[in-house]
Amino acid sequence: MKDREPEHNESTDEAAWLDLVARLQDMPADETHGGRTNPDGSRATAPGSGTGTGTDPHEPANPGAAPDSIPDSPRSAAERTRAIFENQPLRPLSPRGPRDYDEPGELESEGEFVPPEPPPFSTGEPLVVLAWMGALGGPVLLLLFAMFWRDAPLPVILGIIALFVASAGYLLFRLPQHREDDGAAV
């Protein structure tokens, strides 16, 4: 069976595009969030504004508007650049000064989860902490000796190996001997 490509209805696509353009042009825009101005400084009106029925604010005033009715973009590079930076939706309404700051109470939301402080490292049993240091530090020291101190004395290397074996053995010995539960209950 041969897959067919979806058929595009260009008349429907064009009508949907013109409808979208007309709806976006009819949206009210203030001066800081993308409002268009004429070259003389007055506010520009959207094409077809004032000609709609007035029953629905989202209804396009001129649904079959031709693309020619869309105002031209600024012609010079400086005007195009200024238009890009003036039409930023997230730009603050006014410039912020050194005294314009948010109060700390305003920044915190109510009911926000604050995790508890973790316990300090020094609360563990000293012997267990030393065993972990020996179990983790022994192989690291052997690796460093192999890379940087090739002619390390044999008693030092054997001492590090013995420290690792003793630390790992102590940690294994400290494991619980009996399980508290029988595993998963079905």
In the chain, how many domains are there? 2
pLDDT band at residue 162, thresholds of 50, 70 and 90? very high
Asked, for residue 119, whether it belongs to a domain, the answer is no
Which range, 6-10, 27-31, 78-82, has the best average confidence (pLDDT)? 78-82
Q: Is residue 83, in this structure, part of any structural domain at all?
A: yes
- Number of helices (H), then strands (E), belonging to the chain: the values are 5, 0
d(CA 96, CA 88) in angstroms, rounded, equals: 16
Does residue 70 form part of some domain? yes
Determine the Cα–Cα distance for residues 44 and 117; give it in Å rounded to an integer. Answer: 57
Phi-psi region at 98: left, alpha or beta (left = phi > 0; alpha = psi -120 to 50): alpha
pLDDT of residue 32: 41
Both tokens of 113, joined, read: 């989860």
The answer to whether the beta carbons of residues 175 and 168 sit under 8 Å apart is no
Identify the pLDDT of residue 152.
Answer: 94
Helix axes 154-173, 126-148, angle to 10 degrees: 150
Q: In this model, does residue 16 exceed pLDDT 60? A: yes
Q: Could you give the dihedral angle defined by the CA atoms of residues 45, 48, 53 and 55, in that order, rounded to the nearest 10 degrees?
A: -50
Among 40, 57, 87, residue at a domain's last position: 87
Residues 81 and 24 in one domain: yes
Average pLDDT over the chain, rounded to whole? 72
Residue where a domain terminates, one of 27, 62, 87 = 87
- Contacts (Cβ under 8 Å, ≥6 apart) of 128: 171, 174
The CA-based dihedral angle spanning residues 123, 126, 127, 131, taken in that order and rounded to the nearest 10 degrees: 80
The whole-angstrom separation of Cα 13 and Cα 24 is: 17
| Residue 64 is assigned to a structural domain of this protein | yes
Query: What is the domain extent for residue 37?
Result: 10-87
**83 and 16 inside one domain:** yes
Q: Which of 23, 57, 87 is the last residue of a domain?
A: 87
* Model confidence, pTM: 0.35
Residue 135 within a domain: yes
Question: Has residue 97 been placed in a domain?
Answer: no
Are 69 and 136 contained in the same domain?
no
Q: What pLDDT score does 23 carry?
A: 83
pLDDT surpasses 70 at 129:
yes
My answer on whether 22 and 78 are in the same domain is: yes
For residue 81, being part of any structural domain is answered with yes
